[in-house]
Amino acid sequence: MPPLLSPLPPEHNAEVAHMAAFFNETLGFCPNSVLTMQRRPAIAQAFIALNQAVMTNEGRVSSALKRLIGYVASHTAGCQYCQAHTIRAAERYGAAAEQLYHVWEYRTHPAFNDAERAALDFAVAAAAIPNAVTEEVEQNLRRHWDEGEIVEILAVVALFGFLNRWNDSMGTPLEVPALETANQYLASYGWTGGKHVQTTPASAQESSSNSPPTRPWRDMAFVTIQFILMGAYLANPEALRITLPEVARYLGLALAVGGTGILTWAFVNLGRNLTAFPTPKASGQLVTAGIYRWARHPIYSGVLMIALGWAAFSQSGWRLGLFAALWALFWAKSSYEERLLAQRYPEYAEYRRRVGRFGPKWGR
C-alpha cells in the first residue's frame, strides 16, 4: 500500500532542513514524517520545536526512558512506524539491552525499577482509547515522580498521540535503519512494520537481509507440538483399548458434541482476531464478550472437551493419554499467551481476575 503522500527531499525547505538536523542525533536520519510535513513548512518547524522541547532531558525522566514511554504509547495505539523509531532512539540514547529486548515485560523484569514501571504503566493507560488512567495508576505515578516530571511523561504520550495518528493515517514509509533496529528488538513481539514497510524493488533490495521473522520461535514450537499431538490422537485409535460402561461412553459423546459447540462459538466471537499462535495479532483487539465472559481460553476448552469425550466414546486409552498431554500443552501455551496479552492490554489483569482459564470461576 503506497503512502498517502510521499516524503519530499530533505533539501526541499532550507529552514526545515536546518531544524531537522536535531534528528541526526536522535535517529541518525531525518524521519520521513517530517519530510512529508514540510509541504507546510510552518507545521514541520512547529513540530520539530515541540519535539525538541518535549524530548529534552530535564533530569530523572531520561532521554532513554522518554523513548521507551513513546514506544509503549505507540504500541498501545498500534503505530508500527513510531514503535520502530522509539526503540531505535532508546538504543541510541543508551537504554540497556535488557530493557530493549524485554520492554513488554517491564512490570516484572529486573531491568526496570519501580519508578520506570509506574511511568510506563501510566503511558499505556494514557495512550489507550478510551483513556484508562485510573486513580490507582495516578497514585502510583505520584509516588515516584514530582509534578514537573509528570508533565514531561504525559507530554511524551501526547506528542506520540499526534505522531501515531499522523504516521498511521499517512502510511509513512519506514526508513531502513529503523527497520533494522525494530527487527532486532521487536520482531519477537509480533512487530512486522505493516503498511510502513514498502515493497518496491529499491526498498526490498535494501532490506532483504533484514526481513522480520514471520513468527517468534515459541509460537512455532507451541503450534508444532499441538498439531503433532492432534495428529497422534487421530493416528492410532485402536491402541490401549479400555472398556467403559455404555452410559460413560454416551456421556463422552455428549461432552464431545458440547465441545464442538463451544469451539464454534469461540471462533465466531474472535472473528478476525483468530490465530493459532499465542502472540496476539498486531491489529487485534481484546475479546471479552460472548463465551469469553465465561472462559479466557474457550477454544482450548472446546478442544479438550472433544478430546476427552471422544476418547471415552471410542474407549481408547491412547486418546485419554493424549488428552492429558493436550491439557498440559494448553496450560503452558495459555500461560505464555496471557503474559503477552497482559503486556499489550492494561485491562487484561482485571479480566483474568474475574474469568477462569478454561471455564467459569464460580462464586464471583
What total number of domains does the chain contain? 2
| pLDDT-wise least confident of 115-119, 128-132, 196-200 | 196-200
Burial of residue 159 (CB within 10 Å: 0-12, 13-18, 19+) is buried
- Work out the average pLDDT over 335-355: 81
**Distances in whole angstroms, Cα of residue 135 to Cα of each of 9, 96, 186:** 47, 31, 31
pLDDT tens profile 24-44? 889 999 999 999 999 999 999
Model confidence at 269, pLDDT cuts 50, 70, 90, reads: very high
Alpha carbons 121 and 115: distance in angstroms, whole number: 10
- Work out the average pLDDT over 235-259: 90
| Helix pair angle (63-77, 80-92), 10° resolution | 170
Residues 29, 148 share a domain = yes
Burial of residue 137 (CB within 10 Å: 0-12, 13-18, 19+) is middle
User: Does 362 reside within a domain?
Assistant: no
**Distances in whole angstroms, Cα of residue 17 to Cα of each of 54, 222, 262, 332:** 20, 49, 59, 52
Model confidence at 206, pLDDT cuts 50, 70, 90, reads: very low
Three cell numbers, residue 314:
471410542
So what's the pLDDT on residue 228? Answer: 94
So what's the pLDDT on residue 30? Answer: 93
Residues 245, 183 share a domain = no
Alpha carbons 43 and 38: distance in angstroms, whole number: 7
So what's the pLDDT on residue 203? Answer: 40
Residues 259, 202 share a domain = no
pLDDT tens profile 87-116? 999 999 999 999 999 998 999 999 999 999
Residue in 9, 70, 21 with CA at minimum distance from that of residue 48: 21
Phi and psi at residue 39, to the nearest 5° = -60, -25
Q: In the predicted model, what is the mean pLDDT of the chain?
A: 89
pLDDT at 265 over 90: yes
Residue in 259, 261, 253 with CA at minimum distance from that of residue 310: 253
So what's the pLDDT on residue 14? Answer: 93
Considering only residues 363 and 65, tell me which one the structure prediction assigns the higher pLDDT.
65
So what's the pLDDT on residue 343? Answer: 64
Residue in 80, 52, 72, 90 with CA at minimum distance from that of residue 172: 80
Model confidence at 361, pLDDT cuts 50, 70, 90, reads: confident
So what's the pLDDT on residue 350? Answer: 83
Residues 221, 205 share a domain = no
Say what percent of the chain tops pLDDT 90: 74
Q: Residue 272: count other Cβ atoms within 10 Å of its Cβ.
A: 9
Q: Residue 281: count other Cβ atoms within 10 Å of its Cβ.
A: 12
Phi and psi at residue 295, to the nearest 5° = -150, 140
User: Does 304 reside within a domain?
Assistant: yes
Three cell numbers, residue 309:
469425550
So what's the pLDDT on residue 210? Answer: 43
So what's the pLDDT on residue 283? Answer: 61
Among the candidates 180, 210, 240, a domain finishes at: 210
pLDDT at 208 over 60: no
Q: Which domain holds residue 250?
A: 217-354
Residue in 231, 229, 163 with CA at minimum distance from that of residue 27: 163
Considering only residues 261 and 353, tell me which one the structure prediction assigns the higher pLDDT.
261
pLDDT tens profile 123-174? 999 999 999 999 999 999 999 999 999 999 999 999 999 999 999 999 999 9
pLDDT at 308 over 90: yes
Q: Residue 213: count other Cβ atoms within 10 Å of its Cβ.
A: 12
pTM of this structure:
0.60
pLDDT at 15 over 90: yes
Residues 235, 198 share a domain = no
So what's the pLDDT on residue 62? Answer: 95
Residues 180, 298 share a domain = no
**Interior/surface letters 54-78, b for 16+ CB within 10 angstroms, e for the rest:** bbeeeeebbbbbbbbbbbbbbbbbb
Instruction: Indicate which CATH number applies to the domain containing 319.
Output: 1.20.120.1630
Alpha carbons 298 and 303: distance in angstroms, whole number: 9
**Rounded to the nearest 10 degrees, how much is the dihedral formed by the CA atoms of 347, 350, 351, 352?**
120
Considering only residues 350 and 297, tell me which one the structure prediction assigns the higher pLDDT.
297
pLDDT tens profile 221-235? 999 999 999 999 988
Residues 74, 150 share a domain = yes
Alpha carbons 167 and 7: distance in angstroms, whole number: 12
| pLDDT-wise least confident of 68-82, 268-282, 292-306 | 268-282
Residues 292, 162 share a domain = no
Residues 153, 53 share a domain = yes
Alpha carbons 269 and 25: distance in angstroms, whole number: 47
So what's the pLDDT on residue 279? Answer: 81
Alpha carbons 11 and 99: distance in angstroms, whole number: 36
Among the candidates 152, 176, 210, a domain finishes at: 210
